[in-house]
Structure 1
Amino acid sequence: MPEGDTVFRTAAKLRAALAGEELARSDFRVPRYATVDLRGQQVTEVGSYGKHLFVRTPTVSVHTHLKMEGEWRVFRCGQRWTKPRVSARIVLGTEDVEAVGFSLGTVEVLRAEDEHTVTDHLGPDLLGPNWDPEEAVRRLRRYTDQPIGLALLDQRNLAGIGNIYRSEVCYLRRVHPATPVGAVGDLTALVHEAHRVLTKAAHEPPWRPLAYGKTRRPCQRCATPLVVALLGESVPDRDRTARRERGIYFCPRCQPAPGTSE
């Protein structure tokens, strides 16, 4: 799933193509918004918050979320699209360019004044201008018994981290991802590390993983082979409780499991 750095760069790409321009075409290929027509409206801004992206006009905010496979691409008018047309869920065009959202997980057209309803429940945006590390730490500390690897994924604590960067941040801070939040020695430093990593990934791509996806590769600190394990949580799924698990990558020597010593 694309993480905060990808969404941040996507917003910058769309901003360069659309901001300040009048829309000559809008095509929403989702039933609920099929009749929405934004032609003649000016794109005032394109922004992101965590993993959420917003294309704004004076009256509406077009909210999209990439989820697992979504992507925005920009083409010159008349240029052949480089992804299947059937996967396009939204097209916003000016006289010169077309911005096409392919395989988007979420497409919403909100009144401009209602955009906040998407982000009100989220924690501080790691890549936002009002990033607040103290608030992020406060939110994390509400879940002292939860593994830090799960707490970092919870967008209600801090917005923008996904499966890749939770492993990276924990590796850099030498914290096992299964360590309970309350047992993390310096939670403030870990939060600052998350901000540093996401900022570097957003502004100096690509981020070259140190731990994620490096199973059996030598740790860059101690040469111990890195390992992968599953870390999950129980989530409601209609009439039953399901177990959702994803891989965590770590060094078993530098990041000893909770209850063990190095």
Structure 2
Amino acid sequence: MPEGDTVYAAASRLRAVLEGRRLVSSQFRIPSLATADLSGRDVVAVRSRGKHLLIDVDESTPGAGDAVSVHSHLKMEGVWHVHPIGRRWRRPAYRARVVLRTETHEAVGFDLGILELLADPDAALAYLGPDLLADDFDRDEAIRRLAADPDQPVGAALLDQRLMAGVGNVFRSEICYLRKVLPTRPVGEVDLGPMVDLSRRLLWANRLRSARTTTGNTSPNGRMWVYGRQGQLCRRCATLIKRGELVSTGGERSIYWCPRCQT
């Protein structure tokens, strides 16, 4: 499931082949951008903001138009693939939403949940809370935002990207477990500093991994403490892991917890 670490890794792959290079062609395969053309323009930066990915394109050719950013959000199924030109795509062509080509490589965005061109991406994403994977992550601001609604369940607060950007459904279950906190516990009863610190450590540790893990074990059945393990034994106390639904931004989302380890 794409979360802040997944988007950070995608930005790193894209940066390696796009940043500082000129686009020889672009194809936007959605109706709203069908006539957009970024060919002949330079990619000046590739960056992630929480779960959002931005490819900043300059006005490198006179008359080509103002600088813009290709903004994408992976949602549940999206992915960016990068490879040398001529290599066979790993997903069917009909699922491609955008193709950006340089002289040597192409970046293909498949099944993107959001794809748009933004003239001022920083303003458009100003609502986001501090980015957990940013070099200048503002810990105090993240704590302040999380603490603003002390009655909100902490499991819901962790998913609210307006408070702190990057945590998704997988990490919020794991963070609550590792802090021994029930996801339904009100924010006002939680020690937020260590929870924010743990969130940053987990995302940072996984930002470039091919297999996400919160246990330190990268084997397929050993990567998670509780997420996706409903009915299996807790790795600490052997109690059966439970699964439920918790209302968060965007609706009800699955949550996993150990009824003995978490209080």
TM-score by shorter chain over 0.5? yes
Q: Which residue of 2 aligns with 1:240?
A: none
CA distance in 1, matches of 2:188, 2:168: 21
How far the C-alpha of 1:143 sits from its partner, in A, is 1.2
**Partner residue of 2:153 out of 139, 147, 152:** 147
Q: Which residue of 2 aligns with 1:250?
A: 257
Q: Which residue of 2 aligns with 1:72?
A: 80
Structure 1 gap ranges (5+): 236-243, 257-262
Q: Are positions 1:195 and 2:200 aligned together? A: yes
Q: Which residue of 2 aligns with 1:97?
A: 105
Equivalent residues in 2 for 1:81-92, closer than 5 Å: 81-92=89-100
SS at match of 1:143: coil
Q: Are positions 1:182 and 2:197 aligned together? A: no
- The letter of the residue matching 2:20 is G
Structure 2 gap ranges (5+): 59-66, 214-222
CA distance in 2, matches of 1:48, 1:168: 22
Q: Is the 8 A contact 2:159 2:249 kept in 1?
A: no
SS at match of 2:259: coil
Q: Are positions 1:7 and 2:7 aligned together? A: yes
How far the C-alpha of 1:234 sits from its partner, in A, is 8.7
How far the C-alpha of 1:56 sits from its partner, in A, is 1.0
The 1:169/1:11 distance shift into structure 2, 3 A limit, reads same
Q: Are positions 1:39 and 2:54 aligned together? A: no
More moved, 172-181 vs 216-225:
216-225
Q: Are positions 1:227 and 2:233 aligned together? A: no
Q: Which residue of 1 aligns with 2:52?
A: 52
RMSD: 1.4
Q: Deviations over 1:37-91 (max 9, x none)?
A: 1111111111000000001122111111111111111122122212111111111
SS at match of 1:131: coil
How far the C-alpha of 1:204 sits from its partner, in A, is 4.0
SS at match of 2:229: coil
Q: Which residue of 2 aligns with 1:239?
A: none
Q: Is the 8 A contact 2:159 2:248 kept in 1?
A: no
SS at match of 2:123: helix
SS at match of 2:39: coil
Q: Which residue of 1 aligns with 2:226?
A: 211
CA distance in 1, matches of 2:249, 2:262: 24
CA distance in 1, matches of 2:254, 2:90: 31
State TM-score, norm by structure 2: 0.89
SS at match of 2:174: helix
Q: Which residue of 2 aligns with 1:133?
A: 139
CA distance in 1, matches of 2:252, 2:179: 22
CA distance in 1, matches of 2:249, 2:27: 39
The 1:125/1:233 distance shift into structure 2, 3 A limit, reads closer
- The letter of the residue matching 1:98 is E
**Partner residue of 2:125 out of 93, 100, 119:** 119
CA distance in 1, matches of 2:24, 2:248: 46
More moved, 29-38 vs 61-70:
29-38
SS at match of 1:72: strand
How far the C-alpha of 1:205 sits from its partner, in A, is 4.4
